[in-house]
Every structure is written in C-alpha cells, then in structure tokens.
Amino acid sequence: MSSRTDKNPGNGPVLGGRYQLISQIGVGGMAVVWQAYDTVLARTVAVKVLAGHSADDPQSRERIRAEAQAAAVLSHPNIAQVYDYGEAESGGALIPYVVMELVRGGTLQRRLSEGPVLPRYAMRLTAEIAAALAAAHAEGLAHRDIKPGNVMLAPTGAKVVDFGIAAAIRPPGSGTDDFEVFGTPAYLAPERLLHDAVEPASDVYALGVLLYRLLAGHSPWTSETTTQMLTAHIYLEPAPLEQMPQVPPYVTALCNRCLAKDPTERPSAREAAALLAHAAGLQVVTDEPPAQPAAIVDTEPSVLIRALGSPPPPPPPADAEPAAVPSPPAGDDPGSARRIRPVLAVVAVVLLMAVAVSVWLLRPTDETAAESAPRFGSTGAPAPSRGATDPPPGASPAPATTAPGDPAAGPTATTTTTAGQQPANAISPGDPAAPPPPPPSPGATPRTPAPEPTATTTTPPAEPVERTLSSSAGSVRATCPEAGTAQILSWTATKPYKVTQGDKDPGPSPAVSFKHGNKQVTMTVTCSGGVPSAS
C-alpha cells in the first residue's frame, strides 16, 4: 500500500530525476528492491533494480521490462500495482528499474515459517489470490510462478507480486522452442514440464498446491530432491486432500480438482475465487454493472472477481456434498523461483531438467545481488522488517490433520541408452486388490447332507495388464495381449528428444527409439508373466 504521508528524506540517490532511494528492503538473485520516495507525487514506493550479472544480461533486462509491461495492464486490489519503468545510469551503464506499489507487510512464505494458519484464513488468502489470477487471465496473461514467496500480506489482503515470468496465454506448439521451463519446481503443473503451452490452468494447479499446503500443513508428496519433485508432478498420484473440520466439503473437492493432472479437469480461477470466497465468508463483488444502484454501502470484507461475460458460478450451500471428481494429484515443497534447463541423464522418469537458480522473488538471505548492486550513491540504513498479517481475530483453531499415504510405485523399467544416458525407474499404479467374497445367503441346513454336485467352471481370461514404462528420453504405454507377445499402445517423448521409430504392432519385442542430436535411447518392451517391462 502506498503512503502519501512520508516526508521527503532528501539524502539518497535519485533515479530518473524523481525516485529517491531510501533503503534496501529486499534482495533476490537478480534484483534489489528499495524503499523509495516519489518526489513528484509525494508518496513512498518500491523500486526494483536489476543487479549483479543480471544488469548486463540482455535476457534479464528484457524480462524486467516485460514484467513492468505485463503488470501495468492489470488493475486489481489483490495485485501489486506497477507505476513506472525506467533506466538509470550507473558506472557508465544503464540499469533497468521498475517502480511499484509498496506493500506494507511480509510475504506468505515468511508467515508460514512462523507456523500454520487457520483454515478460514487459508481460504480467504487463496480466494484473493484466485481473484488476482482471474483478473490476469481475463487480460490474457498467465502468472506462471504462484507460490508463498510471491504473495504479500497487506493489511487490506493478499497481494500477488512478481510478474517477471508472466506470459501471454498460448496453446501448445505456438511458443519458442527453447527447452526452458521458468517457475518454482514445487508448484509446476505437469503440462509446464511436458510442452510449451502457457495456460491459465497451470496457475490454478499452483493455487491448488498452495491451498493443499495451507490446509493440510504439508505437501502431499515426500520429495527430497528436485528430481523427485518434478517426477511427482507428472506421474505420482498423491492421496487426495482429506476432509477436515471447519473446511466445507466443496472446498476439499475444489482443491482436489485444482490438482488434476489433466488441465481440462481443473476449475477456472474465477470459479475457485467464488467458492473460496463463499467458504471464507467474503462478499463476492464483480465489476459487472448492477441492475440498480446500491442504497447502502456494504462494509463487509469482499473479493473482486473480474467479469468474463457471465456471472460467477453460484456458491454451493454450506451443507452441500462435494461433486464426484477424479482422484487428483497435488504437490508442494518450499522452493525458489528457478529456470529449469534440460540436462540429460539427471531427472528420473521423463524429466531431463536440472534446476539453475533464476530467482525473481525477493530473498533477504541472498547476498549476491546486494554485494553487486548498482551504486547510485549512498544508501540509508536497512529498513526494519515488517510483521506478517495475522489471521483474523475470532477464527477457529486449526484442525489436526493426517498425512496422506505414500503413493504406490509400480514395476521398474530399464532402458538401452547411448552417449552416456542413464535410465530412470518407471512408475505405474499397482493392480487393484480383489474384492472380498460376498457373505453366504441365510437359509436352512438340510438334515441329511447330500453330496455336492461337481461342476466344471471356466475362469474368464483376465484383462491384459497395462503399464507406463519410462526412461530419460520418454515413456511408453504397453500391454501383453497374449503370452509372449507385447504391444506398445502409445509413446511420449520428453523434450528435447524426438521419436524416430516406433512399433505399434504386437510382437515378441516391439521397440521405440528417441533421439536428440547424437544421443539415442531405445526402449524395447517384452512380457513376462503377463506384465510388460522395458529394456
């Protein structure tokens, strides 16, 4: 929130002849954020200045400019507003900077480090975040890095910040083929890792991960490495969020829907905002013109949901049962914003991405950018840290939660690789357990038991077992239609690999070949005991 009451400090360096720097309030891997004073409009602002090697990197310079342009078109109470963009001279070079709203409060990441939040507060925060996403999606933008570190807790509510990697919404196959994925591993949707689409549904997936963590207090996966985390997003089905006290069933169902692996099965940000707002007791306000002017000003807390040509879906009643939804995945792990580059033979299953830090969030513990920040002049003392917004008073205590069970892992697959490739383990769901036999029907027992007639019964043939088998270059879906015969039903290549040859006809050992440059991986499928495996 900006303030017009601060007095002009009159000492620090001035950027663009207008913005007087006061003190550093945040440091990230690529930028330093200053509290500054706008000498023209007499208000306190935040100024984000590119720092370190990023100041000389053309790609970083273009990204901070794109951030300013993307956020400048958005006007919403739950999005930190961008005021200006400029370039300042420092040591003979021009350093880009962005002037934005100064949010009085800490990040959600810092608040979570202090302990869990109450369910009602969690639903309120995510309702406001969803409303911000709906506004961005209405303007054709996807944020692509929703996480606790990019949510500020202002006295007026949640504020989404950092549109540094936001992009225009586009379908798969229409973007640049640079094989880079920008974002934070713990919140990356499966489609973000498999193709170059920029979809609103990917933001909704990240929202679902965040909602799961706020309500359950933990991630639905146990991931010790980035590789495991990325693998989980694509293949592992975690236990759905369990129903808990003080959380309406439709919110539990909403969270599970947000985490569906298929983007088409997720709700829109607009729908999520409406349902979460209803659960949190917020008044839903749209920017559609009312039929009649309001006679009384309503002072209840509210959330603004942008109009998209149709009113938001009506919230279900408090005692409504959740709709039947498919079993969804979820994932969460604290992490910084990263640019994930494919490095072959590193990531399990289908991912070939090692993570190189490309941080746009403001991390107070990162001293690299601070030490190499542009020198515009003397700086003031560091600003004291501000406390995070506390949950609303009178809220109910947080419920006890139960950790979900570990997802089951299926059979493993090995691959024949060339050029130093390492195969990865395949993951597939286990076979369902056989149902218990029905109880015997009640009836009278004959006095003289007669010999039971013998009957010859034939057991119907079992359905062929299907498995998804994976390697570092791609995955295949295979089955065993009959003894000694394998069949590949489908295959998917992992970027940057391409499929060069594939056998779909049944046979003793059909194969699929993936190639990238001079590196080739061939997966040969065989059957043993009716179960397919790859070698």
Burial of 518 (0-12, 13-18, 19+ CB in 10 A): exposed
Other C-beta atoms closer than 10 Å to the C-beta of 417 total: 20
What Cα–Cα distance (Å) separates residue 409 from each residue in 231, 416, 418, 463, 534?
12, 22, 26, 21, 16
Question: 48 labelled as ligand-binding?
Answer: yes
Other C-beta atoms closer than 10 Å to the C-beta of 89 total: 11
The dihedral built from the CA positions of residue 137, 301, 384 and 114, taken in this order, carries a sign that is: negative
Tokens representing residue 527 in the block: 């059957």
| Distance from C-alpha of 229 to C-alpha of 261, rounded to nearest angstrom | 14
Secondary structure (DSSP) of 315-343: PPPTTPPPPP-PPPP--------EEEEE-
Query: Under a CB-based contact definition with an 8 Å cutoff, are residues 86 and 97 in contact?
Result: yes
| Distance from C-alpha of 55 to C-alpha of 65, rounded to nearest angstrom | 12
Tokens representing residue 193 in the block: 């890792």
CA Rg, the chain, in Å?
A: 27
| Distance from C-alpha of 85 to C-alpha of 67, rounded to nearest angstrom | 10
- At 101, is the secondary structure helix, strand, or coil? coil
Q: What's the start-to-end Cα distance of the chain, in Å?
A: 59
What is the 8-class DSSP label of residue 365?
Answer: T
- At 521, is the secondary structure helix, strand, or coil? strand
Residue whose C-alpha is closest to residue 84's, from 137, 125, 40, 124: 40
| Catalytically active residues, by annotation | 145
Other C-beta atoms closer than 10 Å to the C-beta of 280 total: 22
Q: What is the helix (H) or strand (E) element at residue 99, kind and residue range? A: strand 93-100
Quickly list H helices, 340-380. Answer: 368-371
| Distance from C-alpha of 147 to C-alpha of 353, rounded to nearest angstrom | 20
Q: Residue positions in the annotated binding site for ATP?
A: 48
Q: Residue positions in the annotated binding site?
A: 48
